[in-house]
Each structure stands twice: as C-alpha cells, then as structure tokens.
C-alpha cells in the first residue's frame, strides 16, 4: 500500500515543487534523492523518478542518507553552524546521537535498541484517546500542559546503563499499565462527551513526557562529554527530526547544553519532520564538494537494480564508548553473581 501511495502522487509532488520554485527540469543543476534508510519499496519509487528526471535532462544524481539530511538541514537556517557538531536525531523510527566531524564523516555515539521516542509518543496518544489525525506527539505535548508531571512515577529507562543508547519499550509498557490501573477506556476519544477523567489522562501525559525527555537529557549529557573528548572544538548541539518540534524537548535540552557552554540549534518545525527541503539541501552540500554520480542513461529501465540501503547506519560506532559501557555492565554483574553463589553455599 505504501509503495502504491508513493507511486500515485510522486509525479504531481515533483511538479508542484518545480512550480513553487518557478523552475523547469532543464534549469536544475542536479537531482538529489534518498536511498536509505527506509522501506525499500518506497525508496525505489523515489529513486526511479529521480533517475528518470536526471536521465532525461542529463543531470548528475546525488544519493542522500535520510538521517544525515535531518542533521544537515540545520546548516541551512543557522549559518554559524560549522563542523564539527553533535546531533540528536529523534523521530518515530529513530533515536540517534552522532558526532558530525565533516560532510559524510560521522561517529555514532548512541542509537535506539528497541523503540524510538516518537513511537512512544504516538502509542501514548493512542492509548489516551487523543486526536491522531496528524501525529501523536503534539497531542500528548498539548495535554501534558494540563497535567502534573510528578503525579505518576515512571522509571527512567536504562538508568544503570552508562552509554548513549536509548530504549522506550519499557516506558511504553509503564504507560499502558498506568492507564489500565486507572480504568481509563482508551477506546473512547478524549473529545467525546462520554470521555471521563481528563485530569488523569493529563497527568499520565505529563508524567510520560517528563520521563521520556529525562532519558534524552541523560543520554545527551553523556554524549556531549564523549563528543568533547573526541572533538574539543564543538560549539553546537543540533536537535532535529519530528520530535524536535516539541517545545518541552527543546527547553529541556537547551538547559543541558548551557552546562557545557554550547548552543542548541533546532530547525523550524516544518523542517524537523520529513521534508523535501532537507534532501535538497544535503544534495547542495554534496554537489558543492563534487560528491555526485554521473547522469544515468535516458532510457534507464524501471527494473534497474538500484543501490538502495533500507538499513544504513550513519557513521561508525564509537568503539571506546561501547567498551566503557560493557566494562561498567560487567562490573555490575560480577558482584551479583558472587552474591548468588555465596547465598547458595550458605543454604547447603
């Protein structure tokens, strides 16, 4: 279904973009297109269209990493943002902390090990019966303003893990249990007259948002410390992706960077969610330094084996951080095992 939906609208979307820019295909310098990460069937639709346009008008083609584009679009609106910088990319499918050394050169400090923060916001909105026509995140953020963020005691994920990775699956479970314990009917929309206990829903929304963002804060603070060891000259933390539109997230992370005399850079909300501007801008950045492929043949067949990358890590994993986290985990495990052995011997 997703592939079909893409195929039905892509020609018109491209034409609308050209019309809005008052351009024709012949006036383009190159064509930029996302090749990953994402659903391969949907990626293929975009790449096919890009190659048809590039081939028909003899234009170079630029392959773009979707998550890199989220990080780089901040350089479009913040002219003082220079490499190196730290980036937190948060959306429905991703949680990434990356150190951007230079264009195309990244070190991954942390990623999600299960669910991303945007997924947790969406599920919480659904379970609370909020309006999901656009996205669950804004609905939870709005309702949370009415609630007491200290009223429901959710535990912060991965508190004992001294790394920069993220996990929101457990917090989702805590939210679901909190809703069930208060006998809130998640099937009844909050807007309905029959919906009861708005204050309880607001308390859950506020408490969830507080802990979800505390998890971000802890990971970001550690990532800043790691990043400063690797690149002492960093001056900015970029926060991008759909969840970066959340004003509570921005305010809390701004407090984190102030501790380290860094500047927080967030694209405007319309450039935080998935958008064509970020792909075009990443194309421009690469085009300027000569990173592009030659024009494809004009008669490029639709079944051409494209270089799609549904799974495409952004940069290399920070090895020292991984080793540090593992050593801390071992330090916690060994005393626990010893205690179990001693207890067993005492019982014999």
Q: How many CB atoms lie under 10 A from the CB of residue 101?
A: 16
CA distance 128 to 179: 8
Q: Quick one: pLDDT at residue 290? A: 98
Strand partners, 36: 65
Architecture of domain 1-73+275-334: 2-Layer Sandwich (3.30)
Q: Quick one: pLDDT at residue 189? A: 60
Q: Which CATH class is domain 81-271?
A: alpha beta
Mean pLDDT by 10 residues, the chain (348 residues): 92 96 97 96 94 95 97 97 98 95 98 96 93 87 97 96 96 93 65 61 97 98 98 98 97 97 97 96 98 90 74 91 56 38 38
Per-residue tokens: 319:
């090895």
HSE of 54, CA atoms in CB hemisphere, 13 A: 23
Q: Quick one: pLDDT at residue 15? A: 96
| CATH 3.30.420.40 location in the chain | 1-73+275-334, 81-271
SS3 256: helix
One DSSP character per residue, 204-245 reads: HHHHHHHHHHHHHHHHHHHHHHHHHHH-TT--EEEEESGGGG
Least Cα distance to 237 among 252, 249, 216, 220 occurs for 220
Least Cα distance to 116 among 91, 138, 133 occurs for 91
Q: Quick one: pLDDT at residue 135? A: 83
């Amino acid at each position: 279904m997703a592939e079909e939906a893409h195929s039905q609208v892509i020609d018109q979307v491209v034409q609308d973009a050209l019309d809005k820019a008052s351009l024709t295909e012949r006036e383009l310098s190159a064509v930029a297109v996302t090749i990953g990460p994402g659903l391969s069937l949907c990626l293929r639709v975009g790449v096919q269209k890009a190659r048809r346009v590039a081939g028909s008008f003899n234009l170079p083609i630029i392959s773009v990493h979707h998550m890199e584009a989220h990080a780089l679009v901040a350089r479009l609106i913040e002219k003082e943002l220079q490499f190196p910088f730290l980036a937190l990319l948060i959306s429905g499918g991703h949680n990434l902390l990356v150190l951007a050394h230079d264009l195309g050169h990244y070190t991954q400090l942390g990623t999600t090990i299960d669910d991303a923060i945007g997924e947790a916001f969406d599920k919480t909105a659904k379970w609370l019966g909020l309006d999901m026509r656009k996205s669950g995140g804004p609905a939870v953020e709005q309702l949370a303003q009415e609630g007491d963020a200290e009223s429901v005691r959710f535990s912060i994920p991965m508190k004992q893990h001294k790394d920069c990775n993220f996990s929101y699956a457990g917090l989702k479970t805590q939210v679901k249990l909190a809703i069930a314990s208060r006998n809130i009917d998640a099937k009844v929309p909050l807007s309905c007259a029959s919906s009861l206990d708005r204050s309880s829903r607001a308390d859950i929304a506020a408490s969830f948002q507080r802990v979800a963002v505390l998890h971000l804060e802890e990971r970001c603070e550690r990532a800043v410390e790691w990043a400063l060891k690797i690149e002492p000259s960093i001056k900015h933390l970029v926060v991008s992706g759909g969840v970066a539109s959340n004003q509570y997230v921005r305010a809390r992370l701004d407090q984190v960077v102030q501790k380290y005399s860094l500047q927080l850079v967030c694209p405007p909300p319309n450039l935080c969610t998935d958008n064509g501007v970020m792909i075009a801008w990443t194309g421009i950045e690469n085009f300027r330094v000569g990173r592009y492929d030659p024009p494809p043949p004009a008669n490029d067949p639709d079944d051409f084996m494209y270089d799609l990358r549904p799974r495409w890590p952004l940069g290399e994993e920070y090895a020292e951080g991984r080793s540090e986290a593992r050593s801390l985990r071992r330090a916690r495990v060994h005393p626990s095992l010893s205690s179990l052995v001693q207890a067993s011997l005492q019982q014999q």
